[in-house]
Amino acid sequence: MKTHGNTILITGGGSGIGRGLAERFHALGNQVIISGRTAATLQSAISANPGMRAVTLDIGDPASIRTVAGRIADEFPDVNAVIHNAGIMRMENLRSPTPSIADAEATIATNLLGPIRLTAALLPLLIRQKHSTIMFVSSGLAFVPLATTPTYCATKAALHSYAQSLRYQLSGTSTEVIEVIPPYVQTRLMGAQQQADPRAMPLTDFCDEVLRILTSQPAVTEVCVERVKPLRFAVEGGHYQAVFTGLNQAMAAVHDAAPGSR
């Protein structure tokens, strides 16, 4: 991916990884359009970054996707990159005596169906460009799941698979497909505790390393920062079970120690 001269739509761009990447691409001279559900969050981001644009989008709503895709085509006909970053992560007790699948359904609609629908809506525009990029932000948990967030991990694994198939189908066209695979990062994805967790990778460090990889490896298809490699390559390294057990035991211990967890 070229890192300058683009018109880029970034979903979930008002906070966390989305905002971090948006600000870096903006600083490199790209026209950046961020989207998200909350207008106030978007406004805060564009106020801090003059020239950045914003559109309100509910990535879990097919009608909202169609509306925004039409607006993007009309107002930003040169858009040549979309970064699918919006996502939600919710804990689920699969042994609950009163099970509810509402969280699972919302997670699938946001994390998986949303990117698929938005890709389909924008692909005719993207594929007409001289060069274009579709980027999916998945997770190290696509490769080694965290058992307390089963649907989140499943959607990220599905997104990894979808990206591979899309890349194959688009080979020979002007559109490339890139997957960014974050480790545990200091964002508010799971609340304020995650943002302050010293075990998580600082957001600034993560975004800086992603941009270094994209700059130094313009033909990269998977962006893996060093801290995610133990998860991404657990199977290939032959230590999947140890990584899976260690991850889930460590996170269970943190949850048990959190105030109000018992």
Q: Which residues are catalytic?
A: 152
Contact 86, 36 (CB under 8 A): yes
Six-digit token string for 195? 């943002």
| CA pair distance 147, 144, nearest whole angstrom | 9
Place of tokens 């169906």: 113
Q: Among 23, 86, 75, 15, which residue's Cα sits nearest to residue 49?
A: 23
Q: Three-state DSSP class for 12?
A: coil
CB 177 within 8 A of CB 167: yes
Distance CA 184, CA 30 (A): 27
Tokens of 59: 């990535």
Q: Is 16 exposed, middle or buried (0-12, 13-18, 19+ CB in 10 A)?
A: buried
